[in-house]
Chain A
Amino acid sequence: GENVEQHPSTLSVQEGDSAVIKCTYSDSASNYFPWYKQELGKRPQLIIDIRSNVGEKKDQRIAVTLNKTAKHFSLHITETQPEDSAVYFCAAPRSGTTGNQFYFGTGTSLTVIP
């Protein structure tokens, strides 16, 4: 089965610095990798995703990179702001399934210090 490892579990950065969160997956057939941000008491919200036909995708201060050979993908947040503080989850699809099922990483609690 698919495992998704996510690191680090907690991350503190100064406002304005960059934050990087990395996930590793095991199934080479996986082809879609979303990232979710979950603020305290709120729903997970998709912030960016990447499909396996590209190596990088950017959306303003957020970017995701994918290394298919090494089977890892990373979330990059530049010029961090206090409102970026949240728990971030990566996900990768489960292989051999008949429905949309994802393995979620264990989450990274990001704190941006003003």
Chain B
Amino acid sequence: DTEVTQTPKHLVMGMTNKKSLKCEQHMGHRAMYWYKQKAKKPPELMFVYSYEKLSINESVPSRFSPECPNSSLLNLHLHALQPEDSALYLCASSQGYAGGTPTDTQYFGPGTRLTVL
């Protein structure tokens, strides 16, 4: 299995809703990522998990809350989002490394297209 899967594919939510995005990989990767991508823009890094621990939070607002229940799963909990949070949310994974300059290939999931009304 060489894929990263994400659910749901599409999500429409109101500003008062609470929802979660899910990501799964079975490649034995130990690093997982959340990215946000606006139309015609490159992916923007949000969070990095390394060996199930949050290692990077790119100053993301607290209305986005990541969770890594185990080495195969990554969730992104959403609460009180704003319309400007509407975007494609991409999960990615890579083998993980012990330190130094990263050289691991990142594999992306298909994304969840989120619309906040």
A95 CB–B CB distance under 8 Å: yes
Known A99-B31, A100-B48, A100-B97; judge A93-B43 contact (CB<8 A): no
Q: In the complex, which range does the number of interface residues on chain B fall in?
A: 20 to 34
Q: How far is the CB of A53 from the nearest CB of chain B, in Å? A: 11
The contact string, 1 if C-beta is below 8 Å from chain A, for chain B 43-82, is 1010010100001100000000000000000000000000
Q: Is the interface of A mostly helix, strand, loop or mixed?
A: loop
Report the bound CA distance from A29 to B94 in whole Å. 20
Query: Chain B residues near A101 (CB, 8 Å)?
Result: 45, 48, 56, 102
Tell me whether A71 is interfacial, beta carbon within 8 Å: no
| Known A-B contacts A43-B110, A43-B111, A100-B48; A105 and B42 likewise in contact (beta carbons under 8 Å) | yes
What's the nearest-Cβ distance from chain A to residue B16, in Å?
Answer: 28
Question: CB distance B90 to A44 under 8 Å?
Answer: yes
A51 touching B103 by the CB < 8 A rule? Answer: yes
B residues contacting A by CB (< 8 A) are: 31, 33, 40-43, 45, 48, 50, 55-56, 90, 94, 96-97, 99, 101-111
